[in-house]
């Protein structure tokens, strides 16, 4: 009996789209042992061969690839631990290294779960009208078959990868997007070489000067985002990391196109209100732009009318 597929009229049936999907994703560490055998052949438990060559060039980050990134085919991925479990995705720390050499880098692997509750609402809200080529794939997703749910998770991973790729190319402060493969997004690990992750802004207690310095990074980053026509869509002090004084935006699968999305302005306002409230509550003073003026600034940058 196949490991994947769905039962219809008492028989296991896998249609072509699903088969393509399964083939594309079979070489993944989290699939059952027999499927993952090729990926882990001869390696210690928990390791897999680097998945770099399995992503097509469009599923890899913008070129030139950074020097620190290990792209050698002989590299091995070792899972070092979990950074965070969430409702929709789990984030793991992975070391990609060439055995017997000094070539090594740390990556954050964000693995989307086959969609659950919040995702259901979110994908209807955000993915509405997003073009899906295969109509049978569409049906599998609508019916929430096992494969259909994995397809939704794949779409989220791809959406986040596409967003951070565009933003990274535009020079915005986001982790470098390494590659996307199925439901897994690999990106630059933001943290220390010993694997300690950078704290979320919400976990920091910046003194007044540091608070101002962070605000002075946030405003241009969000302005640049708005100029590109986007709102983060879920901006809060939990989706910003602070590494050695540097602010980075993360968690962007739901990036909103503020021009084409009829509720674009609302998302922009909500993001601005959320984050400026956090800074105001911590007593931000001395800034060129008052927290309360962020919404207006972002609307102007995006070319939208005032709220």
Ligand X SMILES: Nc1ncnc2c1ncn2[C@@H]1O[C@H](COP(=O)(O)OP(=O)(O)OP(=O)(O)O)[C@@H](O)[C@H]1O
Summarize as ranges the residues that interact with Mg ion (CB under 5 A): 239, 251
For residue 173, state whether it binds ligand X (rule: CB under 6 A).
Answer: no
Answer for which of 5, 148, 173, 175 binds ligand X (CB under 6 A) is 175
Rounded Cα–Cα distance for residues 238 and 247 (Å)? 12
Separation of alpha carbons 302 and 228, rounded Å? 7
Span from 25-33, 48-56, 187-195, 295-303 in contact with ligand X (CB under 6 A): 187-195
Q: Does 187 bind ligand X (CB under 6 A)?
A: yes
Q: How far is the CB of 226 from ligand X (least distance, A)?
A: 21
User: Is 269 one of the binding residues for ligand X (CB under 6 A)?
Assistant: no
114: its two tokens: 């086959």
Smallest separation (angstroms) from ligand X to the CB of 1: 33
Q: Which one of ligand X, Mg ion, none is in contact with 13 (Cβ closer than 5 to 8 A by kind)?
A: none
* Least CB distance to ligand X at residue 90 (A): 7
The Cα–Cα gap between 165 and 11 comes to 42
Pick from 179, 239, 254, 261: which binds ligand X (CB under 6 A)? 239
Least distance between Mg ion and beta carbon 301 (Å): 24
- Contact letters for ligand X, residues 50-79 (x by CB under 6 A): ------------------------------
For residues 84 and 136, which CB has a smaller minimum distance to ligand X in the complex? 84
Should residue 91 be labelled a site residue for ligand X when binding is judged by CB under 6 A?
A: yes
Binding segment toward ligand X, per CB under 6 A, in 19-27, 51-59, 86-94, 292-300: 86-94
> Using CB atoms within 10 A of its CB, is residue 36 exposed (0-12), middle (13-18) or buried (19+)?
middle
**CB nearer to ligand X: pick between 199 and 296:** 199
Question: Which of 89, 97, 153, 302 is close enough to bind ligand X by CB under 6 A?
Answer: 89
Query: Which residues, at least 6 apart from 74, have a Cβ–Cβ distance to it below 8 Å?
Result: 50, 98, 99
Find out whether the peptide bond into 78 is cis, omega within 30 degrees of 0: no
> Angle 215-255-220 (CA atoms, 0-180°, nearest 5)?
25
Report how far apart the first and last C-alpha atoms of the chain are (Å, whole number). 57
Determine contact, residues 70/54, Cβ cutoff 8 Å: no
Q: Which is nearer to ligand X, 22 or 190 (CB)?
A: 190
Residue nearest to ligand X (CB): 86
State how far the Cα of 110 lies from the Cα of 189, in Å rounded to an integer: 11
Does 153 help bind ligand X (rule: CB under 6 A)?
no
Task: Report in angstroms how near the CB of residue 152 gets to Mg ion at its nearest.
Answer: 18
For Mg ion, the closer of residues 109 and 141 by Cβ is 109
Binding-site partner at residue 170 among ligand X, Mg ion, none, CB < 5 to 8 Å by type:
none
Copy the structure tokens of residue 276: 């400026």
The structure tokens 């026509």 sit at: 229
Q: 108: burial class by Cβ within 10 Å (0-12, 13-18, 19+)?
A: buried
Contact 191, 106 (CB under 8 A): yes
Furthest CA-CA distance within the chain: 69
Question: Is residue 185 a contact point for ligand X (CB under 6 A)?
Answer: no
Minimum separation from the CB atom of position 285 to ligand X (A): 28
Backbone CA torsion sign across 252, 258, 262, 266: positive
User: Residues for the chain: how many in total?
Assistant: 307
Q: Using CB under 6 A as the criterion, which residues of the chain lie in contact with ligand X when the complex forms?
A: 83-84, 86-89, 91, 108, 110, 175, 187-191, 197-198, 200, 238-239, 250-251
């Amino acid at each position: 009996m196949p490991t994947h597929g769905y039962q219809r009229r008492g028989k296991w049936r896998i249609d072509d789209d699903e088969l393509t999907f399964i083939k594309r994703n079979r070489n993944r560490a989290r699939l059952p042992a027999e499927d993952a055998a090729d990926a882990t052949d001869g390696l210690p438990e928990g390791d897999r061969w680097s998945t770099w060559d399995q992503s097509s060039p469009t599923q890899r980050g913008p070129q030139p690839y950074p020097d620190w990134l290990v792209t050698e085919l002989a590299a091995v991925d070792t899972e070092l631990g979990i950074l965070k479990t969430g409702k929709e995705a789990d984030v793991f720390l992975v070391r990609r290294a060439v055995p017997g050499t000094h070539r090594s880098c740390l990556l954050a692997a964000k693995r989307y779960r086959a969609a659950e509750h919040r995702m259901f609402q979110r994908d209807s809200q955000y993915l509405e009208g997003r073009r899906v080529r295969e109509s049978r794939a569409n049906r599998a997703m609508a019916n929430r078959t096992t494969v259909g749910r994995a397809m939704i998770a794949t779409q989220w991973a791809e959406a986040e990868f596409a967003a951070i790729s565009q933003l990274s190319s535009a020079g915005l402060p986001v982790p470098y997007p390494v590659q996307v493969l199925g439901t897994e997004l690999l990106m630059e690990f933001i943290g220390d070489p010993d694997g300690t992750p950078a704290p979320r802004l919400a976990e920091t207690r910046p003194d007044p000067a540091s608070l101002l310095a962070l605000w002075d990074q946030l405003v241009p980053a969000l302005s640049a985002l708005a100029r590109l026509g986007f709102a983060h869509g879920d901006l809060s002090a939990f989706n910003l990391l602070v590494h050695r004084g540097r602010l980075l935006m993360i968690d962007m699968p739901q990036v909103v196109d503020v021009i084409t999305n009829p509720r674009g302005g609302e998302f922009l306002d909500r993001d601005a209100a959320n984050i400026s409230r956090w800074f105001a509550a911590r007593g931000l003073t001395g800034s060129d732009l008052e927290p309360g003026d962020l919404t207006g600034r972002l609307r102007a940058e995006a070319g939208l009318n005032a709220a």
